[in-house]
Amino acid sequence: MTKIHRQARLFLSVISALIPTVFTSPAIALATDQPPDWTDFAKTAKRFVAIESPSSVFPFKTAKAGLGKALVIAHYFPFFPISYEGLPPDKDYYAKEFLSVSGENGKHARQGGFLRERPLPTPFQSTPQFYDANFAIDVERAARIGIDGFGVNLLSLTDKTFMPAARKLLDAAVASSTGFKIFPEPDMTTLSGLTPLGLADTLMLFATHPGALRIDGKLLVMPIAAEKYPVAFWQQFTTIMSQRGYPIALMPCYYDPAINTMAKYRNISWGAAFWGTRGPSAGNNAAEVIAEIKKLGYSHWMIPVSPQDSRPKDLLSFEAGNSRSYKNQWDAAIALGAKQVQIVTWNDYSETSEISPSSFTKFAFYDLTAYYTAWIKAGSPPPLSRDAFYFVQRRQIFRPDKLIQGARWSLAGNPPWSNDIEVVALLTKPGELVLKSGDSTVRKMAGAGLQTIRVPASAGTATFALKRGHRIIARITSPISIDPNPDRHDPTYGGSSSLRLGRNNNGG
């Protein structure tokens, strides 16, 4: 057993133990029974995103959905819509129940609250069909940075959250006219007692919808932890779909990418995907898995990339090392010439792995995703028209065993905890980077392109400067201030984007 297999098995054992049996969404207050006007929603979403993310906030040309040398998809978790009930963001369920220590009758008090951030609110909270409109915004936001589609997590096939959300996303994708597509990711960790016929019946929604993602004329189906069900199950499912005239491209997303596991499913699979590990060496680990997938004869494979992973509900976190984990994974995808990439995730706030515009990460991971997506789709780094800088840092010095801030957190994975402030710089030409926090100052001579600099974190705000020769080209103060006395543990890495500072969309 290789090092990656040992890490993958450990990761599998951790997350399998933490997956809830049922996610029950807060009641969604739909204000009208009028059929959704998806064309109108799409137009509204397009106008909103055009204002939120104009070309001026990107120092490069973003990629287009549906075009390019690689397929880039994002894992979508329907349990966390932009808004549940259309109330103002300081009065809605996120604010009152998920972010508050006392929320949901104190159920999450020991953990300091269920979540540490929320989707960045939109101005459409109180419109009659706010819930549908927000799906259109998710689609438009993702398409704006070149993402090709959402893989929708189907934690349940029968409740009122997951399949209804999938239908809305399919309709929103068609109405967007961006080339954006939707495909199913049935979550086999929670779908117990399922039959091949039952799954086929449910996924006919995707098979018959023009908004579904098809590869080589086949519907892409990517079951999470496909190995939870035997090979015979997937053979029967594939046969049923073919007999109905809807062939599928089955791509198991393995939780346990052991050679013997993947070998068993090779002959029934169009390709192979895997959930991956987390941390600054996650990309190296992924490269090892890809090498083994190739040895097994899979003709197609998808590599995962994830910015961070921390779970307040479980008092558990992986150390991402600022953006190092995300960069390491994208570097691996680019070096391997990946033709399919899965971003884990678009909006799973319970695992803090979201890249969607959010209340604390803001647009930092969203904008960095735009850069990497443009790179992998073009096969080369996108030319930079101007300098841009992204702070990636925590809002506290994270000390998981400081009990005055709440119950102790556990570290998952190998890297130890670290407390640094980082700036990711996209430079048009070489320069000197200077980053200061408290009494510590770090200087670095950097070439053109994507560069990073880190300094040990101290309480207060950090400052960054770019120098060329004797001139200061840019000077920025981080909008995130590190609290010396936080009231709860929070390992989340937030962010800011220099080209968005001062805008009215909370992009700082």
User: For every residue of 418-485, which 3-state class applies, written as one string?
Assistant: CCEEEEEEEECCCEEEEEEECCEEEEEEECCEEEEEEEECCCECCEEEEEECCEEEEEEECCCCEECC
Q: Where are the domains of the chain?
A: 3-88+129-378, 388-497
Q: Do domains 3-88+129-378 and 388-497 have the same CATH topology?
A: no
Helix (H) or strand (E) holding 151: strand 149-154
d(CA 351, CA 361): 13
Kindly report, residue by residue over 390-445, the tens digit of the pLDDT. Answer: 999 999 999 998 888 899 999 998 889 999 999 999 999 999 999 999 999 999 99
**Can you tell me whether residue 372 is helix, strand or coil?**
helix
Contact 112, 312 (CB under 8 A): yes
Residues 400 and 408: beta-carbon distance below 8 Å = yes
Please tell me the distance from the alpha carbon of residue 461 to that of residue 157, in angstroms, as a whole number. Answer: 47
- DSSP, res 318: E
Residue linked to tokens 């995707």: 206
- Distance from the first to the final alpha carbon of the chain: 45
150 beta partners: 74, 182
Q: At 8, is the pLDDT very low, low, confident or very high (cuts 50, 70, 90)?
A: very low
* Predicted local distance difference test score (pLDDT) of residue 19: 44
Q: Tell whether the model's pLDDT for residue 15 goes beyond 60.
A: no
Alpha carbon 119 to its chain's center: 12
Q: Is 412:317 a contact under the CB 8 Å cutoff?
A: yes
CA quadruple 121, 123, 125, 128: dihedral, nearest 10? -150
pLDDT in tens, 458-508: 999 999 999 999 999 999 999 999 999 999 999 999 999 999 998 655 556
Confidence at residue 94, expressed as pLDDT on a 0 to 100 scale: 97
Give mean pLDDT, residues 27-51.
81
Which pTM does this prediction carry?
0.94
Listed in sequence order, the residues at least 6 apart from 403 whose beta carbon sits closer than 8 Å to its beta carbon are: none
pLDDT score of 27 = 53
Task: Looking at the structure, give the CATH architecture of the domain made up of residues 388-497.
Answer: Sandwich (2.60)
DSSP character at residue 391: E
Query: If we measure between CA atoms, which residue out of 260, 273, 156, 165 comes closest to residue 220?
Result: 273
Taking the mean position of all CA atoms in its chain, how far away is CA 229? Answer: 26
pLDDT attached to residue 508: 64
Q: Report pLDDT for 34.
A: 73
Report residue 86's pLDDT band, with 50, 70 and 90 as the boundaries: confident
Planar angle of CA 277, 310, 289, nearest 5 degrees = 5
Q: What is the radius of gyration, based on Cα positions, of the chain?
A: 22
In the chain, the amino acid numbered 8 is A
Residue 122's pLDDT is: 86
Q: Note the CATH number of domain 3-88+129-378.
A: 3.20.20.80
Dihedrals φ, ψ of 428, to 5°? Answer: -75, -25
Least trusted range by pLDDT, from 40-49, 128-137, 374-383: 128-137
SS3 for 495?
A: strand
What pLDDT band is residue 67 in, cutting at 50, 70 and 90? very high
